[in-house]
Amino acid sequence: MKEIKRDHYLQKLIERRTNGLIKIVTGIRRCGKSYLLDPMFRDYLLESGVPKDHIIKIELDRISNKKYHTDPEAFDEYIHSLIKDNKQYYLILDEVQLVSDFESVLNGLLYDGNIDVYITGSNSKFLSSDVITEFRGRGDQIHLQPLSFSEFYNAVGGDKLECWNEYLTFGGMPLVLSRKTDSEKMDYLKDLFNQTYFTDIVDRNQIKRLDVLDAMVNLLASSVGSLTNPQKIHDTFKSKGTKELSINTINSYLSYLEDAFIIKKALRYDVKGRKYINTPQKYYFADLGLRNARLNFRQQEESHLMENAIYNELLIRDYNVDVGVVEIREGNKRIQTEVDFICNQGSNRYYIQSALNLDTPEKTSQESRPLNNISDSFKKIIVVKGSMKPWHTEDGILVIGLLDFLLDQHCLEK
């Protein structure tokens, strides 16, 4: 196995270097946040000429640093004792949430013009999309995802389709690559979900209905890419005889899973009406392997997992992604059709359909129908399993092979 490269995220750190803000690396547990800062970013700094003694790393989960957990003033004094001159210093703090009132310490460091701060952590504040609010406008978030397929393939190599099948099953958690057998990979992912993510959510939020949380995760995993909402989930539990369960509990548990970055909610957008539809929504998993682990690797419908992989890839490329709804008139009827993804980034927009194949004219027509009923001039694309030379349908819709899409981050712009 080659070295895992995370150049996309490393570049984000480089672009934010000495910008006067606290760089906060967030992401699901075990996705490689600490590794991104050290050795990757640290090595970059050294190679760019930063003296070794001007890069300070403090791991707050070490026993030697436990004395600072309840004494933020001593922690602040210790940091400043390491600053020996007026030249630029780079401060990397791992598990900084272990220090009480760490926000005040970090915000105070910004008054020192020669300290550039980078932090990671793994409590609720660092596993939540609301982390930036803790720093009152002084934080700059870099959100790290599990390995993209491109990162996965660059580390593994070999036949692209075989690699895709591996990724489809075991996902992109970095440590999966160090497990040699399928059994070891399965055990690692199941243990990671049950003993780390699940336990963390339960403890952090003091969840009482473990049975409901467990069943909800499995329900979401088995319906990736399907429309749902708290009411539908509640009705499902009710139909199975679950008692004394409120919709508020369902809403809370969904938010806990989102805050832990395990799932991501995609809103529906009415393309012609130019407005959001609040319900129902779709939920996708941050990692395919973790999703499969929840179902004991039983339900692996490639069409749904492919859709999930495309969604994750679009997020990695910093697109804002919604599910599209396109209303079509047929005689006196109005029919709602779906575009899998509407991707926005600045002034750019793309409409994307995910399809396992376009092996018949009927299938091509079915996948093209919603796209053909969008009147604007933004690019319309169908991503099809495999690798192929891009081509256009008779209606001008661009067709791209899945592997080409996943391995070429600029393919949409061509």
pLDDT band, residue 139 (cuts 50/70/90):
confident
| % of the chain exceeding 90 in pLDDT | 82
pLDDT band, residue 133 (cuts 50/70/90):
low
Q: 92 by DSSP, 3-state: which?
A: strand
**How confident is the prediction for the chain on average, in pLDDT?**
93
* DSSP secondary structure code for residue 228 in this structure: B
When mean pLDDT is compared across 82-96, 98-112, 395-409, the lowest value belongs to 98-112
pLDDT at 97: 83
Q: Is the pTM of this model over 0.85?
A: yes
The residue that leads in pLDDT, 240 or 42, is 42
Rounded average pLDDT over 206-227? 94
| % of the chain exceeding 70 in pLDDT | 96
Q: 262 by DSSP, 3-state: which?
A: coil
pLDDT band, residue 124 (cuts 50/70/90):
low
Does residue 131 register a pLDDT over 90?
no
Does residue 130 register a pLDDT over 90?
no
Delineate the domains of the chain, giving CATH numbers in brackets. 7-143 (3.40.50.300), 148-414 (no CATH)
Rounded average pLDDT over 243-258? 93
Does residue 331 register a pLDDT over 90?
no
pLDDT at 154: 95
pLDDT band, residue 330 (cuts 50/70/90):
confident
For residue 201, give every residue at least 6 positions away whose Cβ sits within 8 Å of its Cβ, in sequence order, or none: 207, 213, 256, 257, 260
pLDDT at 47: 98
| CB distance 307 to 354 below 8 Å | yes
pLDDT at 279: 87
pLDDT at 128: 57
pLDDT band, residue 414 (cuts 50/70/90):
confident
Distances (CA, A) of 176 to 170, 187, 188, 263, 287: 7, 10, 7, 19, 12
Question: Which range, 39-53, 127-141, 228-242, is most confident?
Answer: 39-53
Rounded average pLDDT over 388-406? 95
Q: 277 by DSSP, 3-state: which?
A: strand
> What is the four-CA torsion angle of 123, 129, 134, 138, rounded to 10 degrees?
130
User: pLDDT digit string (tens) for 149-190?
Assistant: 999 999 999 999 999 999 999 999 999 999 999 999 999 999
- Residue where the block lists tokens 């150049």: 7
Does residue 259 register a pLDDT over 90?
no
- Residue where the block lists tokens 């590794």: 35
Does residue 95 register a pLDDT over 90?
no
Query: How many residues would you count in the chain?
Result: 414
pLDDT at 267: 96
Cα 325 from Cα 281, distance rounded (Å): 11
**In terms of C-beta density within 10 A (0-12 exposed, 13-18 middle, 19 or more buried), how is residue 222 classed?**
middle
pLDDT band, residue 209 (cuts 50/70/90):
very high
pLDDT at 260: 86
User: pLDDT digit string (tens) for 277-307?
Assistant: 988 999 999 999 999 999 999 978 899 999 9
